[in-house]
Structure 1
């Protein structure tokens, strides 16, 4: 099973584990070991601990170098959106770690294979295993290939509550009136529409956004307004 994952990693990301036992350990849950008394390997918890530290450091170093003009607040905001449960779960699914994890029967029946919290653990354990097997340089190259590239794609925006961020920024010196107004609604197919929403502060327009619902359009408008204010 893990040989197939090894082949997939080689084909897709040019990653070859020298010690495939580390890869197996990163994808083995404690409940699986408890139900298999003859199993001689370890569960992923220690590798998860290591991987969490590696991810925090690697992401901080990358952002520090990538955005030399950003202040600590902006760097922290982006880092938090990147090193969190839903982001790591998505990366685990992209690598198909959910297919290969060895689970106990109870966990399998409860749907743990699709649980974001478990997939987060698997991602961190995988990074810990890769770090031990090949070192920091390989980890950074891998993260640039699969994780950091998603910054420019706007992947991590979905994990940031821009409406709250915008409200906090605009009300930093006192109360203001923030409004979201629907400007347009256009059909794009039989079942879909595109909404356009404008966000304003004290009746002063800040930005417009579009989306497949008014909620999505509001989020887009808030993101554009907040990022524009930050850039200014």
Structure 2
């Protein structure tokens, strides 16, 4: 009997700690902790909802949070930049909600500490930080509605990070920029990607970037996309003057 009381007490303390931490992060009182707990369940847990029989993890909340964040940022930019046309506003929104920025937001809030998973946290890719950040926004929407989502995004995203003039000059994809330049200048380019584990236990990829048949940059990362972006960034700085003048 004493053992059972101890389990219940421990579970209550954990919930209280989680409640306090979530309240600190979102800036207001959560009503239903269930939504927030779900926001940090990784699919590897293979948790099934008892009533619906459906998988329970953060992925659906991530989808919802992505939509909420995008709409809030779109509304903010619409009001803040009345002279911006559709293309400009879309570009600015993409910079704010870029995967790199969302990962940074998730890391800053240390959301990874709440994630429940059977996978070692050291094995997660960088995108886990942004994924759970979006899932948290989805949980806020289900728990408190759109206005509280807006309040959270204002506090954690817009006020500390969004500076429209600075964003105008921010490059979110060196690869896209480099390819666009190559196409305008009618230059031949090619990304040659191959696995390169080396001494690392985690799989890595290396890439050679060719321009008119010559290697101009190399990159190495834990994914093909990141390796290509690294090589593109190096190529951009090598040809920055030419690219800027086009």
Same fold (TM over 0.5): yes
Find the counterpart in structure 2 of residue 111 from structure 1.
Answer: 123
Contact 1:48 1:124 in 2 (8 A): yes
CA gap 1:63/1:5 in 2 versus in 1, 3 angstroms: farther
1:143 aligns with 2:157: no
1:81 aligns with 2:92: no
Residues of 1 paired with 2:47 and 2:141: CA distance? 27
Find the counterpart in structure 2 of residue 19 from structure 1.
Answer: 32
1:160 aligns with 2:172: yes
- CA deviations on 1:57-96 (whole Å, 9 max, x unpaired) are 1211111111111122221111111222211111111222
Residues of 2 paired with 1:11 and 1:118: CA distance? 21
1:29 aligns with 2:39: no
Select between 81-90 and 147-156 the one with higher mean Cα deviation: 147-156
CA gap 1:155/1:20 in 2 versus in 1, 3 angstroms: farther
Contact 1:2 1:100 in 2 (8 A): no
CA gap 1:163/1:51 in 2 versus in 1, 3 angstroms: closer
Contact 1:85 1:116 in 2 (8 A): no
CA gap 1:21/1:156 in 2 versus in 1, 3 angstroms: farther
Where does 1:118-137 land on structure 2 (aligned, <5 Å)?
Answer: 118-137=128-147
CA gap 1:12/1:54 in 2 versus in 1, 3 angstroms: closer
In the TM superposition, residue 6 of structure 1 has moved relative to its aligned partner by 3.1
- CA deviations on 1:91-123 (whole Å, 9 max, x unpaired) are 11122211111011xx216521xx222222211
In the TM superposition, residue 165 of structure 1 has moved relative to its aligned partner by 5.3
Residues of 2 paired with 1:11 and 1:158: CA distance? 31
Contact 1:87 1:156 in 2 (8 A): no
Residues of 2 paired with 1:34 and 1:137: CA distance? 30
Residues of 1 paired with 2:110 and 2:122: CA distance? 19
Aligned length: 178
CA gap 1:108/1:23 in 2 versus in 1, 3 angstroms: same
CA gap 1:22/1:117 in 2 versus in 1, 3 angstroms: same
In the TM superposition, residue 3 of structure 1 has moved relative to its aligned partner by 3.6
CA RMSD, Structure 1 to Structure 2 (Å): 3.9
Q: Structure 2: any 5+ residue segments left out of the alignment?
A: 1-13, 186-233
CA gap 1:161/1:85 in 2 versus in 1, 3 angstroms: closer
Q: Structure 1: any 5+ residue segments left out of the alignment?
A: 176-214, 227-232
